[in-house]
Amino acid sequence: MLRLDDVQIFVLAAEQGSFSNAARQLNIAPGLASSSVMRLEAALGARLFDRSTRSMQLSEEGERYLPHARAMLEAQRGGQQALASGHSALSGPLRLSAPSDLGRNVVLPWLDDFQQQHPGVSLQLRLSDRAADLLRQPLDVALRYGALSDSSLVALPLAEHNRRVLCASPEYLARHGRPAQVEDLKQHNCLRFIWGEQVHERWRFTLPEGERVVVVAGDRVSDDADAVRRWGVSGFGVVYKSRLDVIDDLRAGRLVELLPAEHCEPAPLNLICAHRSRLTPLVVRLREFLQARCTALLAEP
């Protein structure tokens, strides 16, 4: 029979890259960590690490087993939280990944409020415009825009009808004029961001005459979408971003909407988790909280 403490040490060793680092986190001797993983390997009949005198890395079998090991630990944690939720407040770690602009400028203060409501929750927040690998990284959930490309993941809608917004600052429009049609974007300085490994430079629109894709260019691109929004507010060019990201700038007049909302690309926001075993009471409550906040923000005049 597998021991969950052996599985935990295996997962920590895989994440930390060594038995000694995993042992340090658990306050045990490195030899105990190594023996624990060897016991797990014997129980599974598989070699989980390729070891040498100088290095240690996951074997091919270890790579395949790691997401299942994490799922076992999450299922245990979820069961404990489910039992605890019947007679106590929500508590425990919440490991969340979010896009840079949305996370830093919109979600961050929301999470402050969430923790005030649930002081037993400890937050680990990662802000990045690279899509988090929920099967390999130690994360509970991730906020992600767009349709889900991996059907094995679970998507919980937060803002189903959110769309991108084509916009620029009043200062930029005063200097360069307003594009009369989407083809005019080829003559404008379009500020682009990198999502994953690709530059977002194929801007999609739904026009009365049908779908249209415009390949844009400009003198600035960043792997941080927050920087791109700030460039737009500062008057350096045209941006095409989620309404949730720029809604405060639009209402304050720092950015001006250039195209009707229904002509812009859908950008639904979802809360993503690796599988349904991670839908713990804490994650379910977080989803309800964030969905209510998104709805209220988009509904404000």
pLDDT digits (tens, 9 = 90+) for 14-24: 988 888 888 88
Please give the pLDDT value at position 166.
97
Q: What is the pLDDT of residues 250-279, one digit of tens each?
A: 999 999 999 999 999 999 999 998 877 778
Residue 166, beta-bridge partner list: 240
| Co-location of 98 and 242 in the same domain | no
Q: Is the pLDDT of residue 86 over 60?
A: no
| Co-location of 280 and 155 in the same domain | yes
- The set of residues, in sequence order, having a beta carbon less than 8 Å from that of 188 and lying 6+ positions away, is 168, 176, 179, 216, 218, 237, 238
Please give the pLDDT value at position 87.
46
Q: Residue 172 is encoded by which pair of tokens?
A: 């930029």
Number of domains in the chain: 3
- Domain containing 211 equals 164-263
Q: Which 8-state DSSP code applies to residue 188?
A: S
| Co-location of 172 and 243 in the same domain | yes
pTM of the entire predicted model: 0.69
94-103, 127-136, 197-206: the lowest-pLDDT one: 127-136
| Co-location of 169 and 155 in the same domain | no
| Co-location of 202 and 169 in the same domain | yes
- How far apart CA 298 and CA 132 sit, in angstroms, is 26
| Co-location of 47 and 71 in the same domain | yes
